[in-house]
């Protein structure tokens, strides 16, 4: 598959681009915001396009042209306010879904957040973030796309173990970003994850097996 990575310059995004570039089943196109990021992605072996999620749906669609799948792993981050949470984490995600539909790109993987589907479990301190994730996920579920929604727990920068736990509900836990990236790649062609959503934390089951058993 040719995979368009939205948020390619991010921490999960970097793992994902590197792993996809080394994977002979897939080809990767990185969506970034700046020239220097574009050059870095090209050095990793990716094709790249400069697009900002605060721009129009057509710009995202143009960036993704020729791809077979889109992964949304962008985020406004903790250093910005609720305005960027709305503009990037919610509207940026929804515009990417619209761009996929407009371009006929059916496969879509969303990186959401642990328990984004359960209001009662949202962290009070970052409630607007959960609201954004919740409604972006709902829009994806209501779209015509072949989606998978991955809701990871707290992200850490440790080396991945390649082993995870996934379930409809996991209340707490953490997971290395590298294992999230590996899970995304395994989901791309795993039919058992199509039209499904799950929480993801570290565990003791190899990724491919966990996705088949779920
Ligand atoms: N932190 C956690 O514990 C946690 C837990 C669960 C889920 N998540 C989710 O996991 C995902 C990835 O996390 P991460 O740690 O890899 O994130 P990250 O390192 O902060 O990367 C986010 C990326 O989004 C890009 N971005 C921000 N605004 C943009 C815009 N307007 N247009 C285009 N790109 C834009 C950033 O671009 P620049 O590089 O140019 O700034 C950055 O590369 C996010 O969706 C996050 O919400 C995080």
pLDDT in tens, 113-161: 999 999 999 999 999 999 999 999 999 999 999 999 999 999 999 999 9
Ordered by start, the domain boundaries in the chain are 2-213
At 21-65, the pLDDT tens digits run 999 999 999 999 999 999 999 999 999 999 999 999 999 999 999
Catalytic residue among 129, 130, 135, 195: 129
Rg, the chain, Cα only:
16
What is the architecture, at CATH level 2, of domain 2-213? 3-Layer(aba) Sandwich (3.40)
Q: Which residues of 80-92 are buried (b: 16+ CB within 10 A; e: fewer)?
A: eeeebbebbbbbb
Question: Residue 110's CB: how many other CB atoms inside 10 A?
Answer: 27
Q: Which residue, judged by its Cα, is nearest atom 42 of ligand 1?
A: 10
If you measure from the C-alpha of residue 48 to the centroid of ligand 1, how many angstroms do you get, rounded to a whole number? Answer: 17
| pLDDT for residue 138 | 98
**DSSP state, 108?**
E
Alpha helix (H) residue ranges in the chain: 11-21, 35-43, 57-64, 82-84, 91-103, 127-141, 177-188, 207-213
Which ligand 1 atom lies nearest to the CA of residue 112?
A: 7
Residue pair 198/168 in contact (Cβ under 8 Å)? The answer is yes
At 162-210, the pLDDT tens digits run 999 999 999 999 999 999 999 999 999 999 999 999 999 999 999 999 9
| pLDDT for residue 114 | 98
Q: Which residue, judged by its Cα, is nearest atom 31 of ligand 1?
A: 53
- C-alpha–C-alpha distance, residues 199 and 84, integer Å: 24
Residue tagged 């080396």 (tokens): 159
């Amino acid at each position: 598959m040719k995979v368009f990575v939205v948020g390619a310059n991010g921490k999960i995004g970097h793992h994902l681009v590197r792993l996809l570039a080394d994977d002979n089943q897939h080809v990767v196109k990185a969506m970034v915001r700046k020239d220097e990021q574009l050059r870095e992605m090209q050095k990793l072996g990716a094709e790249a396009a400069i697009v900002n999620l605060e721009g129009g749906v057509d710009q995202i669609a143009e960036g993704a042209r020729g791809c077979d799948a889109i992964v949304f792993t962008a985020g406004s981050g903790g250093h910005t306010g609720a305005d960027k949470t709305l503009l990037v984490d919610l509207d940026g995600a929804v515009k990417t879904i619209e761009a996929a539909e407009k371009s006929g790109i059916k496969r879509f993987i969303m990186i959401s957040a642990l328990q984004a589907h359960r209001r009662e479990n949202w962290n009070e301190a970052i409630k607007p973030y959960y609201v954004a994730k919740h409604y972006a996920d709902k829009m994806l579920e209501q779209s015509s796309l072949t989606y998978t929604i991955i809701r990871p727990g707290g992200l850490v920068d440790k080396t991945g173990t390649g082993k995870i736990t996934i379930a409809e509900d996991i209340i707490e836990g953490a997971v290395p970003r590298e294992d999230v990236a590996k899970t995304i790649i395994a989901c791309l062609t795993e039919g058992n994850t199509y039209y499904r959503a799950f929480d993801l934390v570290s565990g003791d089951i190899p990724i491919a097996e966990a996705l088949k058993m779920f």
